[in-house]
């Protein structure tokens, strides 16, 4: 009985090993293709096969250099094969054997050719999904191309928002002006608080131990740190500017927004209101 169980266990282990080895041998992904897309697919295969400067102009397969030898002694890897009818075969095992620099070029050329073709966006996405799902390393390599493929969606979104852009420009223009006024006012209060001890004492008395009106936390912490370490000279203004750097970056963005032309939208809106009153 024990011998029978051991034999059965051995057979199960051998079958598992055999199935895993067979899976590794036939590590291929079949991607269905419509007959209407034959011309575009053949063009994409050709672009991929010529991506590394080879003289091959095959429209049915992509063969590139590999890192090890085949059974016939050649150092090549066939990563794509098109049967000319209804499917593409992507061989992820061959892809891993291939020279990764050349494999990347071939894959990029294939995807770029697809994007420039007349193949529908849904079909393109299905082909890319099949290739990505074949292997994690391949998916990581294709990630930049997937992000690059979202540019069309952003352009479409911009077209949808085009009728509302004038309102959006005015909204952000007003926001930029408010930010600039707030930051400049806060900076004036901060510099006065740091550099004028008499005014600082007056403001502290008025606030009753709370933060004085218009003075930022950066200015308060700067003054406190300087007063705690009077024996060591520290430039209060330099300390303040370092702590205020993030705020000034926001101010710079707001200024760039206005310089980029958003002020014209704001001025136009104000003038339209004024013309309505007059």
Banded pLDDT at 158 (limits 50, 70, 90): low
172 closest CA partner among 269, 249, 248, 273: 269
Banded pLDDT at 8 (limits 50, 70, 90): very low
Banded pLDDT at 10 (limits 50, 70, 90): very low
Q: What is the pLDDT of residue 5?
A: 39
User: At residue 28, what are phi and psi to the nearest 5 degrees?
Assistant: -125, 155
User: At residue 70, what are phi and psi to the nearest 5 degrees?
Assistant: -80, 180
User: At residue 131, what are phi and psi to the nearest 5 degrees?
Assistant: -65, -40
* Residues in contact with 33: Cβ distance below 8 Å, sequence separation at least 6, in sequence order: 41, 82, 85, 86, 87, 88, 127
- Report the distance separating Cα 141 and Cα 132, nearest Å: 9
Q: What is the pLDDT of residue 222?
A: 86
Predicted confidence (pLDDT) per residue in 201-250, tens digit: 888 888 777 888 888 888 888 888 888 877 777 788 888 888 888 888 88
Checking if the pLDDT of 156 tops 70, the result is: no
Checking if the pLDDT of 186 tops 50, the result is: yes
- Report the distance separating Cα 33 and Cα 23, nearest Å: 24
């Amino acid at each position: 009985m024990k011998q029978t169980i051991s034999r059965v266990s051995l057979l199960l282990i051998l079958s598992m090993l055999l199935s895993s080895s067979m899976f590794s041998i036939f590590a291929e992904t079949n991607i269905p293709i419509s007959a209407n897309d034959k011309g575009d697919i053949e063009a994409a295969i050709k672009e991929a096969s010529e991506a590394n400067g080879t003289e091959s102009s095959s429209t049915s397969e992509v063969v590139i250099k590999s890192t090890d030898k085949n059974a016939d002694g050649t150092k090549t890897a066939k990563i794509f094969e098109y049967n000319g009818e209804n499917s593409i075969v992507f061989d992820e095992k061959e892809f891993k054997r291939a020279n990764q620099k050349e494999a990347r070029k071939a894959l990029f050329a294939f995807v770029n050719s697809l994007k420039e073709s007349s193949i529908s966006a849904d079909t393109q996405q299905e082909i890319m999904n099949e290739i990505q799902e074949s292997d994690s390393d391949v998916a990581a390599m294709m990630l930049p191309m997937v992000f690059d493929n979202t540019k069309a969606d952003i352009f479409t979104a911009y077209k949808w928002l085009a009728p509302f852009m004038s309102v959006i420009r005015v909204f952000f223009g007003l926001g930029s002006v408010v930010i600039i006024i707030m930051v400049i006012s806060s900076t004036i209060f901060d510099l006065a608080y740091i550099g004028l001890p008499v005014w600082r004492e007056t403001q502290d008395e008025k606030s009753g131990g709370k933060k004085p009106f218009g003075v930022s936390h950066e200015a308060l912490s700067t003054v406190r740190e300087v007063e705690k370490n009077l024996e060591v000279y520290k430039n209060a203004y330099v300390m303040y500017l370092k702590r205020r750097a993030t705020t000034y970056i926001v101010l710079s963005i707001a200024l760039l927004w206005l310089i980029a032309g958003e002020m014209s939208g704001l001025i136009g809106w104000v003038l339209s209101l004024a013309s309505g009153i007059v």
